[in-house]
Structure 1
Amino acid sequence: MPPLSILDLSVVTSATKPATALRNSIDLARHADRLGYVRYWLAEHHNLSSVASPSPDLMIGQIAAVTERIRVGSGGVMLPNHAPLVVAERFKMLEALFPGRIDLGLGRAPGTDRATSYALRQRLLDRDGDDFLERLQELMLWETREFPAGHPFNNVVAMPDDTPLPPIWLLGSSDYSAQLSAQVGMGFAFAHHFASYDAVEALTHYRRHFQPSRWCATPRGILAIAVIVADTDEEAERLASSADLNRLRRDRGQYLPLPSPEEALAYPYTENERAAVTRNRSRLFVGSPATVLHKIQPLMSASEADEVMVITAVFDHEARKRSYSLLADAFGLAKAA
């Protein structure tokens, strides 16, 4: 079995306020550390009432401070929202404080709507189009110090200058992301849980075309999937009803807190809505440990993923912890830890 990791959105529910969701993330990270999960990543989203954390770097420091073994990182920092120097400084600081335990995952999207994106970037230089590659190159240059002769940044040092950047991962949900990750020679994490592009094609293309670099000598591919596990298939389905309604609402642009199973099960679905829920289930693996393993094994094998990263969004915090415990047992993590 491949190693297991966690992607956490600090999910806000109709009964869990954002501040509590953040504390739940810290509690879940401690739990994952004890279970033997490899890494724990925090996402960056803005202006979403369903996601409590807009600043993964702040959460990384809090979580790394209260865990012992697990790697902690961003899944990811949305680079369009930040000056590359700021990202370099913050993650070099984290690496200095928690050496060998930090990951820097980078995303190409702003992680929010257009108005919020403008509010995040309005003090930066105005640029048209996608400038992710330019920002990525600048971030790498803060580490390599290979700015052209005479460039003003040659007189600027990203502190602490005795600490390297942590390992860089590129995040994506498309063929372009796979191609770019392979070309620049970095780790690649594919977001199967919301991608429309085929995960197997993306990860196998990345592996076939990977070019070794100073950042990564060999390909490292992570398959990120949405999973809900319970002791029985019936209980898992009950828990997953919250995710079904939440996804239906998100597809309509309604980013509400995660509803309870009771609210979801009472929702009067139309025939078309039920068809949409069925389609969305292709991105969500639900069931008992044996059922979920049976469902995800073909995808893990075909994609040749080096690691599986799991996102579990359920209404009850203890049920979420239980889901990760059951999955850890199914993968043999508890014994390995």
Structure 2
Amino acid sequence: MSIPFSILDLAPIVTGSTSAQALRNTFDLAQHADRLGYTRYWLAEHHGMPGIASSAPAVLIAELAAATSRLRIGSGGVMLPNHSPLVVAEQFGMLEALHPGRIDLGVGRNAGIDPRIEEALQLSAGTQSIEDFTKRLVELRNYFSEDSLAIPAAGNRPPMWLLGSSVRSAKMAGLFGLPFAFAHHLNDQQTVQALDTYREAFQPSIELDRPYALITVPIICADTDARAQKLAEPGALAFIELQKLGAGQSPRSQLPTMDEVENYPYSAPEREIVNAYFESQIIGGQETVRAKLDDLIQRTQVDEIMATGMVYHHKDLLRSYELLAGLYADGACVWTRAPERTDIDGY
């Protein structure tokens, strides 16, 4: 079986830099991924986070699709409670019309964890319920039918994906017959259960005739294991700071520097958080990364791996994805394993 590799980008803003530079780095990384042979490049939607510049995926997708030649560019994802399904359909119908066969529409339900953002987006308990999300998802799908009032969505249907980090979202994706993207980087303990649930619940649909799932995996690859571990440390500290946001505290605003990490006074509980954080990561030199990925692929039987990573220096991130791509035969970003099977067209 050939397993494609892809990239999820959050456009991280590092300490001492700007959101404009973060977006230029995203532009550069997408072109780098295009040359290296990755399958798709997705942009996340986050609001009110000073360390993340990716707040408007549709805008970025348009720019990146125009600047690349073969990558599938998509949303990982559009948070549907934040938007009118009609507007989402119009945006992605237009993107598909402009870049036919190269757009992915990934949708999710998580609106964020900051009450200020929920208020600014005019969200209520009703708009964040599973019932409301299901209604919006059905409405969004219908706007891509040939007789739809959503122009140019009518007749320009990009593949729609359901994103999630729970078994419940996996079951929904299966029942809707959608390809499923599971956030392994957020909930690695339920990955296998979620994918099994998705496959068991799957019902063929206009989008897909059999299950297809990818998992998002934090991967940092360097020339040595020690170097990779060093590059991963700012992301671990940023993760600790993110916990403060969830607790209503003021976190560090941007990805910390290597010096800040070295000088940070970790408490014992924070050390435990860091250790748990690294357990869900694939970090190391090429041999280490390949061994860990091979084990993960065998355990999950996943159809595609979507790598994501945060390091302080952009050049180190470019190198990480270059080394990851270098693991594959003939320079193509696919992982080959037995038994052989036919890939799903369009995914």
Q: What's the TM-score, normalizing by structure 2? A: 0.89
Structure 1 residues 295 and 88, CA, compared in 2 at 3 Å: closer, same or farther? Answer: same
Distance 1:59 1:129 in 2: 28
SS in 1 for 2:228: helix
SS of 2:104's partner is strand
Q: CA deviation at 1:53?
A: 1.6
Change over 3 Å in CA distance of 1:163–1:333 after alignment to 2: farther
Q: Give the aligned residue type for 1:207.
A: R
Structure 1 residues 55-102: Cα deviation after superposition (integer angstroms, max 9, x where no partner): 000000000001000000000000000000000000000000000000
Evaluate the alpha carbon distance shift between residue 252 and residue 161 of structure 1 in structure 2; reply closer, same or farther with a 3 A threshold.
closer
Distance 1:333 1:179, change over 3 A: farther
Partner SS, residue 171 of structure 1:
strand
Separation in 1 of the partners of 2:206 and 2:332?
A: 34
Residues 174 and 197 in structure 1, CA contact (< 8 A), matched pair in contact too: no
Structure 2 match to 1:84: 85
Q: 1:178: Cα distance to partner? A: 0.5
Among 209, 234, 238, the alignment partner of 1:242 is: 234
Using the TM superposition, give the Cα deviation of residue 255 of structure 1 relative to its aligned residue in structure 2, in angstroms: 5.5
In structure 2, relative to structure 1, the CA distance for the partners of 1:16 and 1:182 (3 Å cut) is same
**Residue 310 (1) aligns with residue 307 (2):** yes
SS at match of 1:5: strand
Deviation, structure 1 residue 251 = 1.6
Contact residue 203 and residue 221 of structure 1 kept, 8 A: yes
Aligned position for 2:175: 183
| Distance 1:290-1:281 versus aligned 2 partners, 3 A rule | same
Q: For 1:181, give the aligned amino acid.
A: A
What RMSD over aligned residues (CA atoms) do the two structures have, in Å?
2.0
- Superposed, which structure 2 residues align to 1:1-337 within 5 Å? 2-121=3-122, 129-130=129-130, 131-144=132-145, 157-160=149-152, 163-195=155-187, 197-253=189-245, 254=251, 256-332=253-329, 334-335=331-332
Aligned residue type for 1:251: Q
- Contact 1:178/1:202 (<8 A) preserved: yes
- Paired residue type of 1:38: T
Structure 1 outlier segments of 4+, above 3 Å: 124-130
Give the Å deviation of 1:162.
5.2
User: Once the 2 structures are TM-superposed, how far is the Cα of residue 334 of structure 1 from its aligned partner?
Assistant: 2.0
Which amino acid is the alignment partner of residue 172 of structure 1?
A: G
Counterpart amino acid of residue 173 in structure 2: S
State which drifts further: 270-279 or 99-108.
270-279
TM-superposed deviation, 1:137? 1.0
Query: Cα deviation per residue 1:7-37 (whole Å; 9 max; x = unaligned)?
Result: 0000010022111001110100000000000
Partner AA of 2:21 in structure 1: T
Does structure 1 conserve the Cα–Cα contact (< 8 Å) formed by 2:218 and 2:308? yes
Does the 8 A contact of 2:89 with 2:153 survive in 1? no
Deviation at 1:209, TM superposition (A): 2.4
Q: 1:201–1:120: structure 2 CA closer, same or farther, 3 Å change rule?
A: same
Determine the C-alpha separation between the residues in 1 that align with 2:183 and 2:109. 13
| Contact persistence 2:93–2:144 (CA under 8 A) | no
Q: What SS does the aligned partner of 2:215 have?
A: strand
* Structure 1, unpaired ranges of 5+: 147-155
TM-score normalized with structure 1 length: 0.92
Which letter maps to 1:281?
F
Residue type of the alignment partner of 1:27 = D
What letter is aligned with 2:162? L
C-alpha distance in 1 between matches for 2:303 and 2:70: 19
Indicate how the Cα distance of structure 1 residues 333 and 323 shifts in structure 2: closer, same or farther if over 3 A, else same.
farther
The residue that corresponds to 1:150 in the other structure is none
Moved more, 48-57 or 161-170: 161-170
Change (3 A) 1:233 1:27: same
Runs (5+) with no aligned partner, structure 2: 246-250, 335-347
CA distance in 2, matches of 1:128, 1:211: 25
How far off is 1:262 after superposition?
1.9
CA contact (8 A) 2:94 2:156 kept: no
Contact preservation (8 Å) 2:105, 2:161: yes
SS in 1 for 2:121: helix
* C-alpha deviation, 1:296, in angstroms: 2.4
Shift of 1:270: 2.1
Q: How many residues align?
A: 327
**Quick one: distance in 2 between partners of 1:161 and 1:225?**
31
